[in-house]
């Protein structure tokens, strides 16, 4: 998957917008690649080879990176570092960072619409485009980012922020691979539940790791946040019952994420 991304950016590095492309490449490199992993695991559960969904796996990382670049902006979190390196706006300037995020969003859809179409039917590709459109819009990711900008005493919406800002894209990544693999609607519902709970558990764990920095979850109490993380992890594992041993790698991921705060 990393090779696919590198090849895509190599095509345009000599263009007049080389610095913009360089900033996009800088941002998308590294990371845990959890969303790409979920795309491919969703496909495997549906009986598809993971290599057949590489364009969509790369797109999921492109969408995620777009959200991180904008989240770090001075008008948002004003983060000067990301993954131990200067954030995009700190390295390339705010204007370039905005454009890098703006460019990674349609680039992900381009990879799905053009490259994924070589491996999947138009019907399945359109379903995936619709899925990500919802996951990235006001009903989910951007809506969650907006809620996150509200005053900290708006703590009642914290769980809603987690669902929209983090869980939505994690869930969509998993479902997109399964849709491209032709999974039945019944199994998709189980996978949808797993994706939601995994995304919630992932973010609750992050809240525990960032306990001293974020005032929102601390108002709930350490034990309550830990309890919610543990409950979401258990519920994510329960949602995989219908898949038997085929979902063992997803179970391992869920358990691994749960161990981060212990």
| pLDDT the model gives residue 176 | 98
Place of tokens 């705060």: 261
Best CA proximity match to 108, nearest among 79, 146, 69, 81: 69
| pLDDT the model gives residue 153 | 66
| 169 within a domain of the structure (yes/no) | no
Please say whether the beta carbons of 197 and 239 come within 8 A: yes
- The answer on 96 and 12 residing in a single domain is yes
* Mean pLDDT score of the chain: 90
Place of tokens 């981060």: 260
| pLDDT the model gives residue 75 | 94
| pLDDT the model gives residue 42 | 98
Give residue 184's Cα distance to chain centre: 23
Place of tokens 């979920």: 38
- The answer on 151 and 253 residing in a single domain is no
Please say whether the beta carbons of 225 and 158 come within 8 A: no
pLDDT tens by residue, 138-176: 999 999 999 888 876 655 578 888 899 999 999 999 999
- The answer on 126 and 248 residing in a single domain is no
| 95 within a domain of the structure (yes/no) | yes
DSSP 3-state of 86? strand
| pLDDT the model gives residue 224 | 80
- The answer on 116 and 59 residing in a single domain is yes
- Could you give the CA distance from residue 66 to residue 64 in angstroms, rounded to a whole number? 5
For every one of its 262 residues, what pLDDT tens digit does the chain have, with 9 covering 90 and above? 788 888 887 776 667 898 999 999 999 998 889 999 999 999 999 999 999 999 999 999 999 999 999 999 999 989 999 988 999 999 999 999 999 999 999 999 999 999 999 999 999 999 999 999 999 999 999 999 998 888 766 555 788 888 999 999 999 999 999 999 999 999 999 999 999 999 999 888 887 776 655 655 556 677 888 888 888 999 999 999 999 999 999 999 999 887 765 4
Number of domains the chain is built from: 2
Best CA proximity match to 108, nearest among 172, 61, 168: 61
| pLDDT the model gives residue 152 | 67
- Measuring CA to CA, how many Å separate 156 from each of 8, 90, 153, 165, 185? 42, 32, 8, 15, 33
| Residue 174 CB coordination number (10 Å) | 29
Domain of 259 in residue numbering reads as 184-262
| 234 within a domain of the structure (yes/no) | yes
- The answer on 33 and 114 residing in a single domain is yes
């Amino acid at each position: 998957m990393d090779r696919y991304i590198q090849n895509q950016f190599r095509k345009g590095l000599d263009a007049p917008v080389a610095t913009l492309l360089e900033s996009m490449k800088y941002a998308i490199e590294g990371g845990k690649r959890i969303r790409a992993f979920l795309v491919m695991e969703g496909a495997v559960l549906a009986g598809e080879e993971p290599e057949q969904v590489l364009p969509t796996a790369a797109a999921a990382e492109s969408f995620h990176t777009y959200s991180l670049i904008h989240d770090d902006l001075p008008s948002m979190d004003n983060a000067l570092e990301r993954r131990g390196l200067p954030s995009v706006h700190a390295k390339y300037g705010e204007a370039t960072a905005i454009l890098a995020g703006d460019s990674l969003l349609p680039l992900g859809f381009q990879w799905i619409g053009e490259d994924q179409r070589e491996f999947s039917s138009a019907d399945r590709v359109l379903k995936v485009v619709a899925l990500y459109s919802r996951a990235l819009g006001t009903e989910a990711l951007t809506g969650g980012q907006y809620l996150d900008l509200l005053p900290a005493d708006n703590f009642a919406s914290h769980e809603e922020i987690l669902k929209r800002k983090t869980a939505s894209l994690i869930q969509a990544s998993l479902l997109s691979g399964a849709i491209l693999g032709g999974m039945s609607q019944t199994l998709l519902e189980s996978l949808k539940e797993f994706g939601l709970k995994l995304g919630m558990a992932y973010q609750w764990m992050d809240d525990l790791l960032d306990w001293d920095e974020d005032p929102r979850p601390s108002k709930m109490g350490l034990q309550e946040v830990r309890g919610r993380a543990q409950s979401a992890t258990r519920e994510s594992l329960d949602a995989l019952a219908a898949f038997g041993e085929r979902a063992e790698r997803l179970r391992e991921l869920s358990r691994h994420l749960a161990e981060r705060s212990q």
